[in-house]
Structure 1
């Protein structure tokens, strides 16, 4: 019982630290990492169930996930550079303090992409998937796509 309580305290402290340091964006990152892991695990399970699993495919999946992480890092760096320019050049005035814009949209887009893949993998494992769940994921991913396109649209 003592070990269980120590584990609970440790987990609570970790999540409290993430919240204190990163706020809402930190939770998006936690969800992103959890979805990456769940997709890789469910993809491996679906492949194993259907006799298609191989270590090469597993490695390819890990490289794919690493690429997603690199894209998120690039977006975070870009947000940092944009924020530094906007917040430190007097001739550029916004009615708010710029912190992040692109990175959260990209992270949410990846979360919906991973959720769609997880649902697809569950179907390959034999689970019945409600059509409305697939539609909801597709709808929300499309909404995030539209928001990202609107931000980068030139007029």
Structure 2
């Protein structure tokens, strides 16, 4: 198989997957980027700063990393389910609301990771995250 065929196969498969998620739009791109940033900052917190609340020692642990990836994968599956529900009723509301909720959750985690690294976080972001946390804690998530 040459590189042109490989690119074609990857493009077809990637397009099919993106289609299942309602298209590769700004919302889905943002969610995937935020998930990647959260995972990377989590690795830095554990691997460099040794301040991770996810492990007893605060350091990297493969099981904690695997759990994080599994959670992100299941989050994407929930988005897929929301997209299919929208397909049934002919809207995009459920998918969009689901993606926004997960983006908010990832944002909270990114800001928390930055704080664990000692990064000075602008007050307006801390206040916004507090609002998101309160909303999440009021049972917006199961």
TM-score between the two structures when normalised by the length of structure 2? 0.68
Paired residue secondary structure (2:25): helix
**Are the structure 2 counterparts of residues 123 and 142 from structure 1 closer, same or farther at C-alpha, using a change threshold of 3 Å?**
closer
Structure 1 residue 67: deviation in Å? 1.0
Structure 1 residue 137: deviation in Å? 3.4
Q: Which whole-Å deviations, capped at 9, do the CAs of 1:62-99 have from their partners, x for residues lacking one? A: 0010011011001001111122xxxxxxxxxxxxxxx3
Match of 2:88 in 1: 81
Q: 1:118 is matched with which residue: 96, 107, 110? A: 110
Structure 1 residue 141: deviation in Å? 7.3
Structure 1 residue 140: deviation in Å? 5.8
Q: Give the count of matched residue pairs.
A: 112
Structure 1 residue 125: deviation in Å? 1.2
TM-score between the two structures when normalised by the length of structure 1? 0.62
Q: Which has the larger radius of gyration?
A: 1
Task: Give yes or no for contact 2:108–2:133 (8 Å, CA) kept in 1.
Answer: no
Q: 2:121 is matched with which residue: 129, 132, 139? A: 129
Structure 1 unmatched runs, 5+? 1-17, 84-98, 149-155
Match of 1:46 in 2: 45
Paired residue secondary structure (2:60): coil
Question: Stretches of 4+ moved more than 6 A in 1?
Answer: 141-144
Quick one: distance in 2 between partners of 1:141 and 1:121? Answer: 15
Structure 1 residue 26: deviation in Å? 0.6
Structure 1 residue 136: deviation in Å? 1.6
Task: Give yes or no for contact 2:111–2:129 (8 Å, CA) kept in 1.
Answer: no
